[in-house]
Structure 1
Amino acid sequence: MLRGKYDYKVHRQTIYFDDLPDAFDGFTITQLSDIHSGSFDNVKAMQRGIDLAKAQKSDLFVFTGDLVNNAAWEIEQYIDRFGAIKAPYGQFSILGNHDYGDYIHWDTEQEKRANLARLKQHHADLGYRLLLNENVVLEKGGQKISLIGVENWGEGFIQLGDIDKALKGVDKGAFKLLLSHDPTHWQKIVRHHPTHVHLTLAGHTHGAQFGVEAAGLKWSPVKYRYPDWAGLAKHDNRYLYINRGFGFLAFSGRLGIWPEITVLTLKKKV
């Protein structure tokens, strides 16, 4: 049970779209989420997960939030390790609910703000382009897709994610890929939004770090909080993929729901 927290699995998912630009047919994305760097207690075992992510050699790398448990210093000893994950089309990231420092005591509000600023700097130190309710354009073969990232938005958690602000300047007809930490943002807002977002990548749930995924059975107690809690979901041709998390929190182990490295392949439907 305790060793399972380092039993990294690669989950591969191919998703087909009618309107994917031809140049991006076959485009690959490696996603990590919920690193929770303050929890690691075996650097050698953790490094195997990083090496596995690097070995995927995807076109794009994204990280969907919760770099730390509470404080920016937690990631500092691992910056060189996670910073070694590179991709031809860049490395992009967002914040998760744990990244804001809301779950520990700070002597002053200024100290808390300084911690968040330090954490944002560490995203840059990692080589990640941190998206804070904003978007960037990825270009390949003369064609483009929009990569959008929002701050955390979750029920019962901090709600700084602003999809309308993040979409500013995005062409209505563009293919849109969204990074949003908490899947409830997709469930409550994104999938009903007047702007069609083709694919949202999330994390947050960890699959409760406990459950069963075998012989066609997929169950975790986290389903009672999050109807969509791991893997692929779809609503009106809008897709959500939820990563099961790279790290762990609170319970120092995993059983049945193993730490995940996601590899997504975008395909043009023919």
Structure 2
Amino acid sequence: MLSLFHPFIEFGFMRRALIACVALSISATPLGVFLSLRRMSLIGDALSHAVLPGAAIGYLLSGLSLVAMGIGGLIAGLAVALLSGAVSRFTPLREDASFAGFYLGSLALGVTLVSLRGSSVDLLHVLFGSLLAVDAPAIILVGAIAAFTLIALAFLYRPLVIDAFDPTFLRAQSRWSAPLVHGLFLTLVVLNLVAGFQVLGTLMSVGLMMLPAASSRFWSRHLSMMLLNAMAQAVAASVTGLLLSWHFSLPAGPAVVLSATALFFISILTGPCGGLLRRT
């Protein structure tokens, strides 16, 4: 058993990759649970692509600088979230359709911008990340975002729960306004996607956010247990994916997301709350 986990003991880059994934697991997956409860699961995917043009502009200006790409990605993600909300508010277009339009344009623009200066290797780095190349500044950034997210969720937990199940009550009875809660929530989502693209890339980061969140619905009907289950599944997928990557020479980021996908299918089949085998 010890030999199985030997890579984490001997190699620093494996430990750094694991720390980054665990930090993402405990901050991004609770947001994924709330996205799922609010029927906004695909909006997380849209925002992950919306980060790309800002990250690409940061790359064009400063190369593979974590600070420049992170700030650019945050600005781009928040801009798409605000623009999509404004379009859905002042036009007949629904919010999901508005997000779809903006994210498709953002993805195309981001790929074009990276291709103007970089090589195909640079483009793959931005799209799929370099999990095994995570360095100390990236860990500090991801850890800071994870800590801030957990603190913010502690303050926003009650209004988020009310808004997910009864937004009318939030507007009528709470001191929190629904647009403010929605805006703060989307800001946290964008922040975690910025942290995720530093590690898993823009295309893979949403996988660690949404797959464990979707799986947790099959294991409990209590929100607190769903949140804990989602975080545990994300950590398990991170450890399993990194070990598979090491022992079978697989790309690390996709291996982590594939591990989360395997847990998702296991949950669909065997989960006590609606799993197919339990139902039959």
TM-score (norm: length of structure 2): 0.23
Q: Which has the higher contact order (CA 8 A, sep 6+)?
A: 1
TM-score (norm: length of structure 1): 0.24
Give the structure with the larger strand fraction: 1
Computing the radius of gyration from Cα coordinates, the structure with the larger value is 2
Give the structure with the larger helix fraction: 2
